[in-house]
A and B are shown apart, each in its own frame.
Chain A
Amino acid sequence: MPPRQHPDRTPAHPETVSHSDVSQSAGEILAYWTEQRMAEATPPDLRRPAPDDADPDAAHPGS
């Protein structure tokens, strides 16, 4: 299981900005990205459901 880095609030703008100091070294991160891993990495889905794709039950919970 890879490490999960949870947000910490920063002193400068504690109400608006969160940040994470990376626990891995630069060498570890660069070593992780083998040619194969870079080739197999996939895009996150940036598509939000179109209005027509909406679940009618979800849109109208009373129906």
Chain B
Amino acid sequence: MTRTKSLATSLLSLSAAAILALSAAGSATAAPAPAEDKSAPSVTGTAVESAGAADYWTADRMLTAVPADQRANRAVQRSLGLDRALVAKGAPTTVEPLAAKTPVLKAASESPVAHIGKIFFTQGGQNYVCSGNSVAATNKSTVSTAGHCLNEGPGAFVTNFVFVPAYNNGAAPYGKWAAKALYAPAQWTGQGNIQYDTGFAVVSPLNGRTLADTVGASGVQFNAARGLTYKAFGYPAASPFNGQTLKSCAGTATNDTVNPGGTTQGIPCDMTGGSSGGPWFVGSSSTGKQNSVNSYGYGQNSTKMYGPYWGTVIQQTYATAAAS
């Protein structure tokens, strides 16, 4: 169903207006304009309910649609003998082209980084994936991640926690490292406070070697200035990603304006679930000091990734794990 409306009157002669009307959609009509009104061009329009048109065009109808050349030819015949000056009148005008609007954000693809990896764990009988990073520690065996990747927040710690550094399409080039202890701020394990969504796992040696001696370990930084520029990494697994390769986002951190009472910060990022716990490095590469982790976003199509501010409480959690 269509609705038709006339938008203006004519400066053209009645016959010229008819040409425009006939070349428009079949159901559109043009309101004849008074010949003496030369102030505005004649335009007709029709409001179309697009959903119906889209439904109409089945694959079969699109295949059997015929060329509209005959209609064009008839229009040419009708226009013969008309005064061309009436049609080609007015100042030269151009309209600039528009580029297709593509999403600005898209997590970048990265080659595997030895100290960044994928985490697997079990919670409530379900198997989950997260991301993590090997961090510098006295025990050379400490992995940073999100609090919700090792504890229900609030509630029990997870089981079957394993870290797979440099995971890539199922490959585990540095092996799988099982946790022997898990650490998180009491504010996370006791209250599930998102401001403290960070945890540290201490992993067992593998083949007689420590994790840090095998893949290296990132430096860490606490109580840093707010609003720094970060590069965040992770293995997003929820659509449109598949969790098989490392991705990254980069940007300057800003406060959470949705829940402004907290200390978390967000960077432009569309990574999805599975990237949780992935490291935020100060600066623009994975060689920077780690200063947060991927924690949360808002809604189903979030374009910001938030991470906890690594202050004194998280520093104490790290120090406890690193010295164990």
Q: In chain A between 28 and 52, which residues have their CB closer than 8 angstroms to a CB of chain B?
A: 29-30, 32-33, 35, 37-52
Contact present for B298 and A29 (CB under 8 Å): no
Q: Is B148 an interface residue (CB 8 A)?
A: yes
Query: Nearest CB to that of B298 among chain A residues?
Result: A50
Query: Nearest CB to that of B152 among chain A residues?
Result: A4
Shortest CB distance B320–A (Å): 5
Query: Nearest CB to that of A10 among chain B residues?
Result: B320
Tell me which of B123, B125, B184 contacts A18 (CB under 8 A). B184
Q: Is A58 an interface residue (CB 8 A)?
A: no
A20-B122 contact in complex given A30-B176, A43-B130, A49-B299, C-beta closer than 8 Å? no
Q: Is B280 an interface residue (CB 8 A)?
A: no
Most buried by A among B160, B182, B316: B160
Interface SS majority for chain B: mixed
- Chain A 3-29 interface mask (CB, 8 Å, partner B; 1/0): 111110110110111111110111001
Contact present for A44 and B276 (CB under 8 Å): yes
Interface size on B, residues (CB 8 A): 63
Contact present for A48 and B296 (CB under 8 Å): yes
Contact present for B159 and A33 (CB under 8 Å): no
Contact present for B321 and A47 (CB under 8 Å): no
Tell me which of B128, B298, B320 contacts A42 (CB under 8 A). B128
Add 16 more A-B contacts to A5-B182, A44-B128, A49-B299 (CB < 8 A). A5-B156, A7-B186, A7-B190, A13-B316, A13-B317, A18-B186, A21-B180, A33-B120, A39-B170, A43-B237, A46-B146, A46-B295, A47-B297, A47-B299, A47-B300, A48-B298
Binding site for B on A (CB under 8 A): 1-7, 9-10, 12-13, 15-22, 24-26, 29-30, 32-33, 35, 37-53
